Chains A and B, each alone.
Chain A
Amino acid sequence: MLGALKFSSYCLYGAFVCAVASTILYVIYSVGLFRVRAARMQTTTGDTITTGVTAQYRAGGPTTAGYLATYMQRSALLFMVGALVFRTIVSKRGPYGNMYEFALAFATTICLAYYIMSRIYPVKALGAMAMAAASTIMLYGISRPASEKQVAGLIPALQSKWIAIHVPMAMLAYGFFTIGFAAGAMYLIQERVKTDKLPSLDVLDEVGYRATVVGFPLMFLTLVLGGIWASEAWGGFWTWDPKETSALVTWLIYGFYMHARVVRGMKGRGTAIILIVGFAATIFTYYGNYWFTGLHGFIGPGGLGGD
């Protein structure tokens, strides 16, 4: 069992190396030239259908950095999955016992969310920011004290079937919000720099929207499932616990974004800024245990605290 725990750690280190490497390679790729073929369809008369949003087309240019970046990113994802699997084998439960395990899950979902979005959009440059965020979370996990890296039993408050749904929903939402943040941040950069080495503003705007469309219902589910769990555990669906309140604020910020985007048709810099603010709220929620006492305090900096 100790061997599996060691493997989990090794996988985390491996993922970190791959994530940092992919970040650097994505930056090199972005600074160089990149090629994306637009979706085209020719009709009988030779007219062109332009469907959805297309990345800019640029002929020629090296793609080695791009290939390697993709391999490193996929490798980071596989390593993170390995880290989770080995830890699950040892702990016989999912990764939701302390901040170290949360970091493993969060980094995995960032890698997963970027992988999914990169299959839909050819936005390698976005990988630089997404994998930088994943690297940071991995580094945070690596820096956690040894006591947290040991597998320990869950305290009674966490011994519930709801934890297996509530926490993964939250982590998935955070992962997609991270991609939204990356798109929003890159939008502001591109708006200023105006280079064809980065994805177009339209692409970035759409990636941010689509990432939020996935994360928004997941975040709502997190809130609802957390409330149902709280009503079962403590008799109150909503107790204005600081962490659950900050999660609500996060969801409201993305709700604000949805209204602005969908109902008002707002696009561009304003919505990009909202995505960045939303991500700040996400991080605030994630680390809230350090600043607030409350019902979530048992997952604070000391790891598995007592009741």
Chain B
Amino acid sequence: MSPSPATDTTPKNDRSAVAALLDAVWWFFTSVRVALWLIGATIGWVLVATLAQSTFPAYLGRTIPATRGLMQRWANWAVWESPVFLLTLGLLVVSIILGGMVNRWPGIAQRIWRPGIRTSTGFFSAVKTSTTLDLPTPDAGVTTFMSVLGAHRYRTRSWRDEKSGATHLYGDKNRYSLLATFPFHTGLVLLMFGAMIAATFGWREIGFLVPDGSVRAVGHGTGLSIRNDGFVDAYYDDGRARDYYSDVEILRDGQTVKAGRLRVNSPISYGSVSLHQATYGQAAKFVIADAATGAIRWDDSIPIYVSDDRRFARQFTDALGEFEPTGVQPLEDLGITVRLVASAGSQDEKIGVGQMAIAIFDNRAVKVGSAPIGTGKLDPGGSVTIGGLTFTFQREVRFTGLQITHNPGLPIIIAAAVMIFFSIMVTFYLPHRRVRALVVPHADGAARMHVGAQVKLDIFGAKEFERLVTEIVERITVASRERDDTPPALDHLRSESEEATLVSD
């Protein structure tokens, strides 16, 4: 309750400035135009981010050299994490909540629980879907309207204007479908919330490589490890992959807690962690032993793949200019990093098929471009001694590439998607239908009834309105015939109804 003028000591300028500010903020977030701009801005940012990942910036940079620097920055811009994108999303979320839901609630609540019944004749002139009927008595129109609409499951209301004697009639159906906008907009917010939860509390290992027979720790505080018990692949005659799968075991504290066959589209889950088959490739099985004592210090496999470290990989191009597959394995216990380079194929003049080039780096000195402490080129079964360790290349094996995820936001996202979809279906396919009528009595006891409906956004509303009016007219006509025993109106109606359907030639 606002203070009375006698007791109000707040300076008028301050209060109105605050009120004006709040009004402006409210207008901003409830304005449909602003919402459209925010949607448009979101579309724009998404487009910018998508094109950044394409070849378009590079193409523009080559075509217009002056823009090369700008195009490079565009290509490297992490749009999804940028303040401007997050700000746009944030404003959109607030707009959705305030404009899409809070602001609309009073109007929707009124339409559902306290619909306006009174109508003016101007309404019937304004709507495209309307008709006018001449009635023998006012009651004929009122009772027929109420009974016909009631039979079609419309809620009906009436109000009689005692001054003019006119009766205002209202019928509506599917009124609760108006509430669908709330789960729709809530779903949108939940989608973004779920994504935020996933980004904040979830994680995803994209290139989790496990050679045959090897065990790799998942990390992320899970205490889990994955053992690859064997990878199998099969191919079509044209060389494309037909099927590939891995038999894996999930270990906790060295004990198998779950085992199964992992295929693309057939993940294995343990608790909140999911394993997904992603890729596969070759690996090199190595044994590293102490050169003096022969004690085995490391016995495992190193996956070989085309390195995405371009600066490193650039050192390993074969005579044809193809990048040779490389593998990197840091060994903290031994204080070294092993880098492998495999053959690019039969055309490779530097590394023969089946051979493995090896370079050993000291971890204390390793950085891009630093020299190895020793190198070698090994055939299967071959060895080289570097830095007091003997490196034996046993053979090539396979590795399975997994994606391991923990996504706590996924159930929220799916629930939001379900809410949005059903809201869309309800809004467009169970729309709130309203029919209004105004019965105006004449001095001679007859009456005129105007009937109209707003159907411009309703797919089948016009047809339903036609059916309702047809039924109203038929009932009134039948009732008149029973009283007067003259059915000309019905014959006249029937002959016209033959042309009442849209006909395609």
Q: Judging by beta carbons under 8 Å apart, are A160 and B503 in contact? A: no
Known contacts A153-B242, A210-B459; is-contact A240 B80 (Cβ 8 Å): yes
**CB proximity of B456 to chain A, nearest CB, Å:** 8
CB < 8 Å: which of B80, B414, B424 contacts A217?
Answer: B424
| A39 neighbours in B (Cβ, 8 Å) | 466, 500-502
Q: Judging by beta carbons under 8 Å apart, are A124 and B504 in contact? A: yes
B179 within 8 A of A: no
B264 within 8 A of A: yes
**CB proximity of A241 to chain B, nearest CB, Å:** 9
Which stretch, B303-311, B346-354, B468-476, touches the partner chain A? B468-476
Q: Judging by beta carbons under 8 Å apart, are B128 and A43 in contact? A: no
Q: Judging by beta carbons under 8 Å apart, are A238 and B276 in contact? A: no
| B236 neighbours in A (Cβ, 8 Å) | 152-153
Q: Judging by beta carbons under 8 Å apart, are B36 and A259 in contact? A: yes
Q: How far is the CA of A235 from the CA of B203 in the complex (A)?
A: 10
Q: Judging by beta carbons under 8 Å apart, are B129 and A51 in contact? A: yes
Total inter-chain residue pairs, C-beta < 8 Å:
222
CB < 8 Å: which of A66, A229, A238, A260 contacts B195?
Answer: A238
Known contacts A39-B501, A43-B131; is-contact A159 B466 (Cβ 8 Å): no
A70 within 8 A of B: yes
Q: Judging by beta carbons under 8 Å apart, are B46 and A245 in contact? A: yes
A145 within 8 A of B: no
Which stretch, A2-10, A177-185, A299-307, touches the partner chain B? A299-307
Q: Judging by beta carbons under 8 Å apart, are A44 and B276 in contact? A: no
| B424 neighbours in A (Cβ, 8 Å) | 216-217, 220
Q: Judging by beta carbons under 8 Å apart, are B131 and A53 in contact? A: no
Chain B minimum-CB-distance residue to A49: B131
| B476 neighbours in A (Cβ, 8 Å) | 44
| A41 neighbours in B (Cβ, 8 Å) | 131, 466, 469-470, 473, 493, 496-497, 500
**CB proximity of A116 to chain B, nearest CB, Å:** 12
Q: Judging by beta carbons under 8 Å apart, are B33 and A264 in contact? A: yes
| B35 neighbours in A (Cβ, 8 Å) | 259
Q: Judging by beta carbons under 8 Å apart, are B36 and A256 in contact? A: yes
Q: How far is the CA of A92 from the CA of B8 in the complex (A)?
A: 81
Q: How far is the CA of A193 from the CA of B504 in the complex (A)?
A: 24
| B463 neighbours in A (Cβ, 8 Å) | 51-52
Q: Judging by beta carbons under 8 Å apart, are A234 and B40 in contact? A: no
CB < 8 Å: which of B279, B407, B455 contacts A236?
Answer: B407
Q: Mark B132-164, 1 if CB is under 8 A from A, else 0.
A: 111000000000000000000000000000000
Q: Judging by beta carbons under 8 Å apart, are B492 and A42 in contact? A: yes
Q: How far is the CA of A43 from the CA of B497 in the complex (A)?
A: 10
Which stretch, A15-23, A80-88, A134-142, A247-255, touches the partner chain B? A247-255
Q: How far is the CA of A122 from the CA of B503 in the complex (A)?
A: 7
| A189 neighbours in B (Cβ, 8 Å) | none
- Between A47, A48, A55, the greatest number of chain B beta carbons within 10 A of the residue's beta carbon is seen for A47
Q: Judging by beta carbons under 8 Å apart, are A245 and B131 in contact? A: no
Known contacts A52-B455, A159-B264, A235-B403; is-contact A152 B131 (Cβ 8 Å): no
A89 within 8 A of B: no
B14 within 8 A of A: no
Number of A residues with CB within 8 Å of any CB on chain B = 82
**CB proximity of A165 to chain B, nearest CB, Å:** 13
Q: Judging by beta carbons under 8 Å apart, are B128 and A248 in contact? A: no
Q: Judging by beta carbons under 8 Å apart, are B32 and A264 in contact? A: yes
Q: Judging by beta carbons under 8 Å apart, are B500 and A40 in contact? A: yes
Chain A minimum-CB-distance residue to B242: A153
B42 within 8 A of A: yes
Known contacts A153-B242, A252-B43, A264-B33; is-contact A246 B264 (Cβ 8 Å): no
Q: How far is the CA of A1 from the CA of B203 in the complex (A)?
A: 47
Which stretch, B50-58, B219-227, B336-344, B376-384, touches the partner chain A? B50-58
A63 within 8 A of B: yes
**CB proximity of B454 to chain A, nearest CB, Å:** 11
B243 within 8 A of A: yes
Q: Judging by beta carbons under 8 Å apart, are B503 and A37 in contact? A: yes
Q: How far is the CA of A224 from the CA of B56 in the complex (A)?
A: 28
| B473 neighbours in A (Cβ, 8 Å) | 41, 43-44
Q: Judging by beta carbons under 8 Å apart, are A43 and B132 in contact? A: yes
B109 within 8 A of A: no
Known contacts A44-B492, A253-B43, A259-B32; is-contact A236 B405 (Cβ 8 Å): yes
Q: Judging by beta carbons under 8 Å apart, are B47 and A304 in contact? A: no
Q: Judging by beta carbons under 8 Å apart, are B504 and A122 in contact? A: yes
Q: Mark A214-250, 1 if CB is under 8 A from B, else 0.
A: 0011001100100111011111111010100110110
Chain B minimum-CB-distance residue to A262: B457
B49 within 8 A of A: yes
**CB proximity of B372 to chain A, nearest CB, Å:** 33
| B49 neighbours in A (Cβ, 8 Å) | 240, 245
- Between A54, A159, A220, A233, the greatest number of chain B beta carbons within 10 A of the residue's beta carbon is seen for A233
Q: Mark B236-262, 1 if CB is under 8 A from A, else 0.
A: 101111111000000000000000000
Q: How far is the CA of A246 from the CA of B153 in the complex (A)?
A: 43
**CB proximity of B11 to chain A, nearest CB, Å:** 39
Chain A minimum-CB-distance residue to B476: A44
Known contacts A41-B496, A43-B132, A252-B46; is-contact A70 B504 (Cβ 8 Å): yes
Q: Judging by beta carbons under 8 Å apart, are B493 and A44 in contact? A: yes
A263 within 8 A of B: yes
Q: Judging by beta carbons under 8 Å apart, are B244 and A259 in contact? A: no
A164 within 8 A of B: no
- Between A51, A66, A153, A210, the greatest number of chain B beta carbons within 10 A of the residue's beta carbon is seen for A51
A157 within 8 A of B: yes
| B465 neighbours in A (Cβ, 8 Å) | 51
Q: Judging by beta carbons under 8 Å apart, are A235 and B267 in contact? A: yes
| B239 neighbours in A (Cβ, 8 Å) | 306
Q: Judging by beta carbons under 8 Å apart, are A37 and B50 in contact? A: no
* Interfacial residues, chain A to chain B (CB-CB below 8 A): 34-55, 63, 66-67, 70, 118-119, 121-122, 124, 152-153, 155-157, 159-160, 162, 206, 209-210, 213, 216-217, 220-221, 224, 227-229, 231-238, 240, 242, 245-246, 248-249, 252-253, 255-256, 259-264, 291-292, 294, 304-307
5 further contact pairs, Cβ within 8 A, besides A40-B500, A155-B241: A39-B500, A50-B130, A122-B504, A206-B456, A307-B279
Those 4 A-B pairs whose CB atoms lie nearest each other, nearest first: A52-B462, A235-B405, A42-B496, A44-B489
**What would be 21 A-B contacts, judged by CB atoms less than 8 Å apart?**
A40-B499, A45-B132, A50-B128, A50-B129, A156-B243, A157-B264, A159-B265, A217-B424, A235-B267, A237-B407, A237-B414, A240-B49, A245-B46, A245-B49, A248-B46, A256-B36, A263-B32, A264-B36, A292-B53, A304-B240, A307-B244
